[in-house]
C-alpha cells in the first residue's frame, strides 16, 4: 500500500479522500490555488503545496504544477477526485511518465470513454442500446442541423467531452437550434477545452439510472448496484438515491451486467459509472455515457453496501484484487443524497458568492455530511458553489426520506442564499414520495417547488428584534464588567429613565425576500425587565428572554414560548427556527435603505463574471423577458433578460470583458420612461 498520496483536487472530495487515507495510515498531500490558501482541504492534510493563481485553468488544471508538487512531496500516487483532471488522459500519462501511480483507470480507458461520441460508437459495437442520435466527426453547423431534423425535435445538444451538465442544451424546435448549439459549444470549450458536440433525441419522460462498476487489474469486475439521479436542474443532479425506487431485481441484473460488459470492453480498472436513460414504461434502457472516475454521489452507494469506495480505489491502484466478488455484494436499506448549494432557486438557481457567516450540520444516527467548508469560509466565484452533500439512510425509502427531511431542518447556513428550502419542498412533495420520477421532475412541479417565499411574519420580525436587543444588552454588560466603575448608572443596559420607560427604534429589512419593505420597530424598555416591541402595522408584543454565547435564544413573545438560533455578522441577522431560516438587514435609520441593494429586474451582473455575448443591437426595442446579454460565471452561462418592454440604448461592456457583481451591463430605457 502507498505511504503517501497527493490529492489533485479541492473542497469536499479532497477532505473526503483525506479521511479514508488517514484511516488506512496513508499520509496525504493537498494542493491549493491562491483563492484556497486557507481552505479546509489545506488544513486537514499532512502537507499542502501552492500550484497557482485562483483560476482553475492556472491551478487545478495545471498538470505540470501538480506533478511537480507530487514529486517535491515524495508522493507515490495521485488521486484526482472528480472534476478538474479526473478524466484527463494526458494527466494520467503525465503521472506515469513521472513515476507516479494515477489512482484511476488506464489512460486508454479514459480516452475510449472521454469523448461521448467515441464512447457511443464503442457501446454500439458491444451491443449496448443507444438513444437515437448523431455522434459523428463532422461538426459543421449545417450538418448538425440536418441531423437534428432527421432525429426529430426536441433534441439534446451535448458536449462530447466532460459532464456535470455543462455544454448541454435542449432545442425544442428548429428555430432554436443555432443559438442553443452556439451556447453549448461555448460552454464546452470553456469547461473542457473541446467544443465538439453530439445530438440526441430528447426523451420525454426518462429516468436517469446509473450503475457503479469496479474493476481490478486481475480481470475482476463487479457492479455495486444502481443509483437513481433523475431529480435534476440544468442537467445537473440535485438528489440521488440508492437503490433506484420501483426498479425490479431483473432490471437491476440486466443493467448491471450491461455495465460490466461496457467496462470490460475498454479494459477498465478502478471505479467508474455507466449512466443510462431508463424508459420505465417500455422497460428499456439506453447507454448515455461513462464517467471514468469516482462520482459526486458515491456516498449513497457506500451507505447501502457498507463499503468505502475510496479505500477500494486505493487498494486497486496499489495492485490488490477487489475485496469482494459479485455474489458477496448485498443491498441494505435505502439512502438519499442532496447537494447543498449556495444558490437562489427563485432566480433560476443563480449561484451565490460570499462568506458563510454561520454553518451548522445535523448529526446523529443514519446521517452523513461531506463538506469542504467551515463557518467563516467564502464561496468563491472561481469554483463550484457546493457547500456540502447531505446523506441520509433508512431501512426503507420512506424512512430514508423522513430522516433526510429532519436532517435538512437541522442544517443551518448563514450569510448566503441556499437551496435548503427548495430541497425540503422537494423531499416533501407527494410525487417524490410516490417515486413518480423523471429527469424533468423539477420542471413538471415548478410551481410547487419554486414558490416565492412569503414575507416574514410579525412574530419573526419580533424574534429577530428580541435577539438584537438581547445581544446588545449582553454586549453592554460585558463593557460594564470591564469598566473601572461597573456599578455606575451609565453602565446600565436596561434603558433606565427618570419617571419614564425608555424608548428606542429599530429598523429591519428582510433580505430573504427580494424587494422586501423596511419595517420600523418601536421598542419600550419595561421597568420590570424585557421590552414592548411594536411593529408599524399595529402588532405589539411583550418580549423577554436570554441568548447564549452560541446564539441559542430562548424566551417569550407575547404568550408564546420561543426558541431559535440568532446569529449576526456586520449589519445582517440570520434567524434559524425549527421550520425556517430568515435573514434581516439592520438598517441605519440615518442612512435609510441600503444604497448597495440592487433593485430587482435591473440588467446588472448578478455576480462577478465575463460577458460572453451581446444578443441584440444597440437601439433595439425588446419585449419583456427577451434575452439581451449572456454572462459566464461559475463555469455556467447565465442569460440576462429585459425586465420589461423597452429599448436597449447601449451596452456598457463588450463581449470578453470581466465585470464585477452589481455592474450595470446595459443602458436600458423602459417604455414610458
Active site residues: 293
**What DSSP string describes 636-658?**
EEEEEE-SSSEEEEEESS-TT-E
First-residue to last-residue Cα distance in the chain = 72
The secondary structure of 198-229, three-state, reads EEEECCCCCEEEEEEEEECCCCCEEEEEEEEE
| Short-list 90, 98, 66, CA closest to 79 | 66
> For residue 592, how many other CB atoms are within 10 A of its CB?
10
Phi, psi of 376 (to 5 degrees): 100, -20
> What gap in Å lies between CA 336 and CA 227, rounded to an integer?
10
List of residues 6+ apart from 92 with CB closer than 8 A: 102, 104, 105, 106, 107, 110
Question: 436: how many CB neighbours lie within 10 A of its CB?
Answer: 14
Q: How many angstroms separate the CA atoms of 43 and 20, rounded? A: 16
Q: In this structure, what C-alpha cell is assigned to residue 255?
A: 443493467
> Are β-strands 621-622 and 646-651 bridged in parallel, bridged antiparallel, or unpaired?
antiparallel
**Distance of alpha carbon 564 from alpha carbon 577, whole angstroms:** 5
Phi, psi values for residue 556, rounded to 5°: -135, 145
Look at residue 484 and give its three-state secondary structure: coil
Strands (E), 439-535: 496-497, 500-501, 503-510, 518-525, 531-535
Q: Which three cell numbers stand for residue 670?
A: 423602459
Q: How far is the C-alpha of 217 from the C-alpha of 269, rounded, in Å?
A: 6
Closest CA to 633 of 611, 664, 602: 611
What is the rounded CA–CA span in Å between residue 288 and residue 119?
Answer: 9
The string of DSSP codes covering 239-303 is EEEESPTT--HHHHHHHHHHHHHHHHHTT--EEEEEEEEEETTTTEEEEEEEE-S--TTHHHHHH
Task: For residue 578, count other CB atoms closer than 10 A to its CB.
Answer: 9
Verify cis geometry, omega within 30 degrees of 0, for the bond prior to 529: no
H-run or E-run covering 310: helix 309-317
The DSSP code for 309 is H
Cell 421532475 belongs to residue: 441
Please give the full DSSP string across 320-350, using - where no structure is assigned. Answer: PPPSS-GGG----SEEEEEEEESEEGGGTSE
Amino acid at each position: 500500500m502507498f505511504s503517501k498520496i497527493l490529492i489533485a483536487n479541492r473542497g469536499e472530495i479532497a477532505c473526503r479522500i483525506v479521511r479514508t487515507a488517514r484511516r488506512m495510515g496513508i499520509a496525504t498531500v493537498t494542493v491549493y490555488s491562491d483563492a484556497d490558501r486557507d481552505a479546509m482541504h489545506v488544513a486537514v492534510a499532512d502537507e499542502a503545496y501552492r500550484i497557482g493563481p485562483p483560476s482553475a485553468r492556472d491551478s487545478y488544471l495545471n498538470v505540470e504544477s501538480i506533478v511537480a508538487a507530487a514529486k517535491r512531496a515524495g508522493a507515490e500516487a495521485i488521486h484526482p477526485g472528480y472534476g478538474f483532471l479526473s478524466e484527463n488522459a494526458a494527466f494520467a500519462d503525465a503521472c506515469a511518465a513521472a513515476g507516479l501511480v494515477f489512482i484511476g483507470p488506464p489512460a486508454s480507458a479514459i480516452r475510449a470513454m472521454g469523448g461521448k461520441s467515441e464512447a457511443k460508437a464503442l457501446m454500439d459495437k458491444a451491443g449496448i442500446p443507444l438513444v437515437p442520435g448523431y455522434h459523428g466527426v463532422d461538426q459543421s453547423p449545417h450538418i448538425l442541423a440536418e441531423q437534428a431534423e432527421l432525429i426529430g425535435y426536441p433534441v439534446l445538444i451535448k458536449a462530447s467531452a466532460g459532464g456535470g451538465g455543462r455544454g448541454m442544451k435542449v432545442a425544442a424546435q428548429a428555430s432554436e437550434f443555432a443559438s442553443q448549439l452556439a451556447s453549448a459549444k461555448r460552454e464546452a470549450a470553456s469547461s473542457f477545452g473541446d467544443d465538439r458536440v453530439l445530438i440526441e433525441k430528447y426523451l420525454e419522460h426518462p429516468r436517469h439510472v446509473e450503475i457503479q462498476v469496479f474493476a481490478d487489474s486481475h480481470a475482476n469486475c463487479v457492479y455495486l448496484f444502481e443509483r437513481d439521479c433523475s431529480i435534476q436542474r440544468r442537467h445537473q443532479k440535485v438528489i440521488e438515491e440508492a437503490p433506484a425506487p420501483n426498479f425490479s431485481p431483473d432490471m437491476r441484473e440486466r443493467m448491471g451486467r450491461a455495465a460490466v460488459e461496457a467496462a470490460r470492453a475498454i479494459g477498465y480498472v478502478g471505479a467508474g459509472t455507466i449512466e443510462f436513460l431508463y424508459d420505465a414504461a417500455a422497460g428499456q434502457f439506453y447507454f448515455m455515457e461513462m464517467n471514468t472516475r469516482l462520482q459526486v454521489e458515491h456516498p449513497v452507494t457506500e451507505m447501502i453496501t457498507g463499503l468505502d469506495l475510496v479505500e477500494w480505489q486505493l487498494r486497486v491502484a496499489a495492485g490488490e484484487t477487489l475485496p469482494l466478488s459479485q455474489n458477496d455484494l448485498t443491498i441494505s436499506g435505502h439512502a438519499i443524497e442532496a447537494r447543498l448549494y449556495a444558490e437562489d432557486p427563485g432566480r433560476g438557481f443563480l449561484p451565490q458568492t460570499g462568506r458563510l457567516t454561520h454553518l451548522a450540520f445535523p448529526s446523529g444516527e443514519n446521517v452523513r455530511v461531506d463538506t469542504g467548508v467551515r463557518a467563516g469560509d467564502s464561496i468563491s466565484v472561481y469554483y463550484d458553489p457546493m457547500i456540502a452533500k447531505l446523506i441520509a439512510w433508512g431501512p426503507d425509502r420512506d424512512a430514508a426520506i423522513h430522516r433526510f427531511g429532519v436532517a435538512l431542518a437541522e442544517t443551518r447556513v448563514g450569510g448566503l442564499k441556499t437551496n435548503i428550502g427548495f430541497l425540503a419542498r422537494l423531499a416533501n412533495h407527494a410525487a417524490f414520495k410516490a417515486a413518480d420520477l423523471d429527469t424533468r421532475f423539477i420542471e413538471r412541479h415548478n410551481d410547487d417547488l419554486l414558490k416565492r417565499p412569503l414575507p416574514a411574519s410579525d412574530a419573526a420580525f419580533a424574534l429577530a428584534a428580541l435577539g438584537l436587543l438581547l445581544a446588545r444588552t449582553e454586549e453592554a454588560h460585558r463593557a460594564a464588567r470591564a469598566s473601572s466603575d461597573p456599578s455606575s448608572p451609565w453602565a446600565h443596559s436596561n434603558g433606565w429613565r427618570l419617571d419614564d420607560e425608555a424608548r428606542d427604534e429599530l429598523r429591519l429589512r428582510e433580505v430573504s425576500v427580494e424587494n422586501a419593505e423596511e419595517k420600523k420597530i418601536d421598542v419600550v424598555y419595561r421597568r420590570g425587565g424585557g421590552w414592548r416591541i411594536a411593529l408599524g402595522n399595529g402588532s405589539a408584543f411583550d418580549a423577554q428572554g436570554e441568548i447564549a454565547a452560541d446564539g441559542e435564544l430562548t424566551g417569550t413573545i407575547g404568550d408564546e414560548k420561543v426558541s431559535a438560533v440568532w446569529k449576526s455578522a456586520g449589519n445582517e441577522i440570520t434567524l434559524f427556527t425549527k421550520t425556517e431560516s430568515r435573514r434581516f438587514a439592520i438598517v441605519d435609520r440615518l442612512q435609510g435603505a441600503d444604497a448597495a441593494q440592487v433593485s430587482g429586474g435591473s440588467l446588472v451582473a448578478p455576480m462577478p463574471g465575463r460577458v460572453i455575448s451581446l444578443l441584440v443591437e444597440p437601439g433595439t426595442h425588446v419585449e419583456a423577458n427577451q434575452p439581451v446579454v449572456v454572462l459566464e460565471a461559475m463555469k455556467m452561462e447565465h442569460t440576462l433578460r429585459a425586465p420589461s418592454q423597452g429599448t436597449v440604448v447601449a451596452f456598457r461592456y463588450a463581449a470578453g470583458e470581466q465585470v464585477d457583481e452589481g455592474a450595470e451591463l446595459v443602458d436600458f430605457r423602459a417604455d414610458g420612461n
